[in-house]
Amino acid sequence: MGIPNLLRFLKPFIEPVHINKYAGKRVGIDAYSWLHKGAYSCSMELCMDPKSAAARRYISYFMHHINLLRHYKVVPVVVFDGGSMPCKAATDNERQRKRALSLKMAKEKLEQGNTAAAADLFRKAVHITPLMAYQLIQILRSENVEFVVAPYEADAQLAYLTTLDADQGGIAAVVTEDSDLIAYCCPAIIFKMDRFGNGEEFTMERTLKTEKHGLSFRDFDQQLLTGMCVLAGCDFLPSISGIGTKRAYSIISKYKDINRVISNLKLDKRYSMPDDYADSLWKTLAVFNHARVYDVKSKSLKHLKPLDAQYLTYLDGDLDILGPYPKVCLISLSMSHLYKMFVADYISDSTSINTGGQFYVLPGFDASIIGSFIKWLIYLGKQLNSNLPLI
């Protein structure tokens, strides 16, 4: 998840923090990062008996951390992932394949009586289903915890919220385990927050303005930092063989321009750059800068940042890479009614959705066309009982 070894590389710039630093402020929560951590405590139950009471321990884990933030007067804003990004399909499919293999091996180990090995494999096999997310949403609603569901990546939605003032729904920092938030240039990120509120804080300002342990980003702007992350490899684009985070930093530091980086990589015989890499790199940078997000105030989709002429040229009209704009109109249906229609009646533990390379199975619909949109629609916004916007 995220940029390989990025947090280790940036360790000199990351400092200990306690969540009470953000008392009186709104802090965004990457919902799926806490859901995954909570699921590890009941991974075997989720894989073998998902309807059991023990399989709901992930909710207790999540709500403990929510209540911890509230105890320290921090206002949590929980953000859920929505549909899958087209450019992430290969990564999602590979993760699904690995989970299926781990589940098969876990069951074999369990039959052999090797529960320790089985438990480890179940942790690798567990995945967060839409039903699990909705069960958590019900609790959040009952506890009056603010939440929003991104149309696509929660990371992009969280990054967008950091650009807003608090009175517009904005947040001061993000709690996550995903280093992609650095590539999205979030100003403040808390990683590895424990059950007592201790974590590790990355701030963009500290990183770009200081020099530590021979590392300096003073000549970097946010675009170059994102470029370094993409060059090192991410969920949207694998790195060129031989280039990791350290080498990506050296290359960006040397040339200080993305186009010059690409030109010199083509000539460097140490690396075998795919023919389409330059095009893919610019499209990936476009995702980190201009992904589609949900604007709670206007109840509409917009870009993380306004698209400029440079990226419009690179994308050549293919804006779907930033998150396809929904083509379906549904009018005068409440969110709770949609849930009853599509989720309560038809989603079982085995039903798939458009996440991890899969889709909802919904009677009467071509899932391959509107799977993402239905998921977005079902979970959209914090008011599940409000009327759907006309798109």
In sequence order, the 6+-apart residues with CB closer than 8 A to the CB of 293 are 150, 151, 156, 157, 160, 301, 302, 303, 304
**Count of beta carbons in the 10 Å neighbourhood of residue 78:** 22
| Matching residue, tokens 């933030």 | 69
pLDDT tier at 1, thresholds 50, 70, 90:
low
Q: Which helix (H) or strand (E) covers residue 229, if one does?
A: helix 222-232
For residues 110 and 294, what is the distance between their CA atoms, to the nearest angstrom? 43
For residues 290 and 219, what is the distance between their CA atoms, to the nearest angstrom? 23
Averaged pLDDT of the chain: 83
User: How, if at all, do strands 146-149 and 75-80 pair?
Assistant: parallel
What is the Cα Rg of the chain in Å?
Answer: 21
For residues 103 and 118, what is the distance between their CA atoms, to the nearest angstrom? 9
What are the tokens at 54?
């023990």
What are the tokens at 319?
């804006």
Average pLDDT (66-78) is 98
Phi, psi of 357 (to 5 degrees): 80, 10
Specify the pTM. Answer: 0.83
| Matching residue, tokens 């710039």 | 13
Q: Is residue 59 part of a domain?
A: yes
The CATH number of the domain holding residue 125 is: 3.40.50.1010
List the Cα angle 164/293/314 in 5-degree steps. 110
105-133 per-position pLDDT tens digit: 999 999 999 999 999 999 999 988 888 99
For residues 136 and 140, what is the distance between their CA atoms, to the nearest angstrom? 6
pLDDT tier at 15, thresholds 50, 70, 90:
very high
Instruction: Please give the full DSSP string across 359-377, using - where no structure is assigned.
Output: ----TTS-HHHHHHHHHHH
257-291 per-position pLDDT tens digit: 999 999 999 999 899 999 999 999 999 999 999 99
pLDDT tier at 352, thresholds 50, 70, 90:
very low
**Exposure letters 161-183 (e unless 16+ CB within 10 A, then b):** bbeeeeeebbbbbbbbbbbbbbb
Cβ contact 27:173 at 8 Å? yes
Strand residues in 192-339 grouped as ranges (E): 198-203, 211-212, 215-216, 292-295, 300-303
Q: What is the pLDDT of residue 356?
A: 31
Q: Is residue 287 part of a domain?
A: no
Half-sphere exposure of residue 108: CA atoms within 13 angstroms, side-chain side: 8
For residues 299 and 381, what is the distance between their CA atoms, to the nearest angstrom? 8
Cβ contact 220:192 at 8 Å? no
Q: Is residue 374 part of a domain?
A: no
Please check the confidence at residue 326 and state whether its pLDDT lies above 80. Answer: no
Q: How far apart are the first and last CA of the chain?
A: 32
List the Cα angle 144/145/148 in 5-degree steps. 120
For residues 247 and 363, what is the distance between their CA atoms, to the nearest angstrom? 50
Cβ contact 69:95 at 8 Å? no
Q: What is the pLDDT of residue 313?
A: 81
**Exposure letters 250-281 (e unless 16+ CB within 10 A, then b):** ebbeebeebeebbeebeeeeebebeeebbebb
Q: What is the pLDDT of residue 104?
A: 94
Count of domains forming the chain: 1
Looking at mean pLDDT, say which of 63-77, 204-218, 370-384 comes out highest: 63-77
Average pLDDT (153-181) is 95
CA proximity to 310, closest of 265, 257, 266, 263: 257
Q: Which domain holds residue 75?
A: 6-207
| Matching residue, tokens 């899932």 | 367
